[in-house]
Homo-oligomer: A and B are copies of this chain.
């Protein structure tokens, strides 16, 4: 779909006064409808400088019911933001389902700012646009409506506007040196704007160009763009029920299960051997983590595995090598209500480590292609799409310096049964068991197939899977330490 352009003639004061009540009523109706559908609306107000983006947002905000709207504006990144993957700051600012986020400039502001700086690298701009495109694509696929308005003003009109404001002592304060500077850069910014719109115009996230010379026309055009896009989206939107448990889990990549099943589970370590080797590897890991921190690299450990495979224990030994202040363990359980009202990756973005820090995920985003696939919490097109989404998610982390390591802790069905029984017998371990564990166990072969597909489809150079035999806990813990050291050392050397 092409960029549409809202070119209407200047609206007179009288027409405006007549029109506004109707628009306001429609906006309120939009919000009433929105509350009942499982998607949020993002309204992006970007464009040329001196087009009154702030005024337009204030006006629109005053027409909407404030309890359902939030306005977001972005300064150059803070250090908490620049210490994290590029898009982190925008994932922080997403409204949940049923609400509207209005973005002053949005993610486009920073991309434009960087690209219009002196000696800007055009490749960096292209890269930023790719990330934005990817971000919006993920959201659109999830049902989010993104309405993007590009406020336009000719160079002449901009000059006229600034001059007029400056000439009146009552309004001169509205003009800052920055305004004149961007006026001088008009041609560059205009051409960057074209590139930007072309690269990020897509169904579900189309640009509407809005002539902003007259503020009444501008306000009406933005409101109409929002109303029209919402109506279209609302009509097309169907609330699909979750798939329900599928009858059969068919492998996408049958090799995966074979690989999983062929892992030898007979490796063992004696307590004495373990203790001797453990301290040495802990020391090595400690040094590597500190070296990574010095280089401002962060590390994301992802632990997946069968119930009772010993994830908790392995994580505890691992984190003993790391300063508690530099390390967070995130236990991933069922999403909360708030988390469910967002994109499934939202909650994980919140927890990405800062540069130089470590995050350990005890279970992870792979739930999407495991439990959600098997229980039918995600529809087929959703979990199938997820392999690529997860690869891209980890690729973004890796590009921004995060070292990603993924472990699958593997045990046999017999060993699991033994451990389940032990848990039930041990008072302080009983809380770890519930019916779900037994139900999951009954679906061993469905999980095997899904794990196999996961291993085949998401084992990437930037985020490799390590398949670890966990039949013997000591062996598994040592393997985790060794593999972690190897991976971190490799990642630091490859710099």
Q: A287 near B: Cβ within 8 Å? A: yes
| A104-B323 Cα distance, complex, nearest whole Å | 10
Q: How many residues of A contact B (CB 8 A)?
A: 61
| A63-B426 Cα distance, complex, nearest whole Å | 13
| A432-B287 Cα distance, complex, nearest whole Å | 60
Q: A149 near B: Cβ within 8 Å? A: no
- Partner pick for A62 among B316, B325, B326, CB 8 A cutoff: B316
User: Contacts A63-B428, A171-B279; is A73 near B325 (CB within 8 Å)?
Assistant: yes
| Cross-chain contact A333 with B67 (CB below 8 angstroms) | yes
| A313: chain B residues within 8 A (beta carbon) | 62
| A78: chain B residues within 8 A (beta carbon) | 78-80
| A295-B316 Cα distance, complex, nearest whole Å | 47
| Cross-chain contact A21 with B312 (CB below 8 angstroms) | no
| A55-B323 Cα distance, complex, nearest whole Å | 9
Task: Give the distance to chain B from A279, nearest Cβ to Cβ, in Å.
Answer: 4
| Cross-chain contact A71 with B328 (CB below 8 angstroms) | yes
Task: Give the distance to chain B from A342, nearest Cβ to Cβ, in Å.
Answer: 14
| A304-B276 Cα distance, complex, nearest whole Å | 67
- What residue in chain B is nearest A316 (Cβ atoms)? B62
| A65: chain B residues within 8 A (beta carbon) | 431-432
| A328-B75 Cα distance, complex, nearest whole Å | 13
| Cross-chain contact B171 with A283 (CB below 8 angstroms) | yes
Task: Give the distance to chain B from A53, nearest Cβ to Cβ, in Å.
Answer: 7
Interface centre among A32, A65, A170 (most CB of B within 10 A): A170
Task: Give the distance to chain B from A72, nearest Cβ to Cβ, in Å.
Answer: 9
Q: A280 near B: Cβ within 8 Å? A: yes
Q: Which of A349-378 contact B (CB under 8 A)?
A: 362
Task: Give the distance to chain B from A21, nearest Cβ to Cβ, in Å.
Answer: 6
Contact with B along A19-43 (1 / 0, CB 8 A): 0010011011001100000000000
User: Contacts A67-B331, A312-B66, A428-B24; is A287 near B173 (CB within 8 Å)?
Assistant: yes
- Partner pick for A53 among B104, B324, B327, CB 8 A cutoff: B324
- Partner pick for A324 among B28, B73, B320, B326, CB 8 A cutoff: B73
Can you pick out 22 interface pairs between chain A and chain B where the beta carbons lie within 8 Å of each other? A24-B428, A25-B427, A28-B431, A31-B431, A55-B320, A57-B324, A58-B324, A62-B316, A66-B312, A71-B328, A73-B327, A74-B325, A78-B79, A79-B79, A80-B80, A170-B276, A171-B279, A173-B282, A173-B287, A174-B283, A174-B286, A337-B337
Q: Which 5 A-B pairs have the closest CB atoms?
A: A54-B324, A24-B428, A170-B279, A73-B325, A173-B283
Measuring CB to CB, which residues of chain A are less than 8 angstroms from any residue of chain B?
Answer: 21, 24-25, 27-28, 31-32, 53-55, 57-58, 61-63, 65-67, 71, 73-75, 78-80, 104-105, 170-174, 276, 279-280, 282-283, 286-287, 312-313, 316, 319-320, 323-329, 331, 333, 337-338, 362, 426-428, 431-432
Q: A78-B79, A80-B80, A174-B286 are in contact. List 9 more A-B contacts (CB 8 A).
A: A32-B431, A54-B320, A54-B324, A54-B325, A55-B320, A71-B328, A73-B327, A79-B79, A171-B283
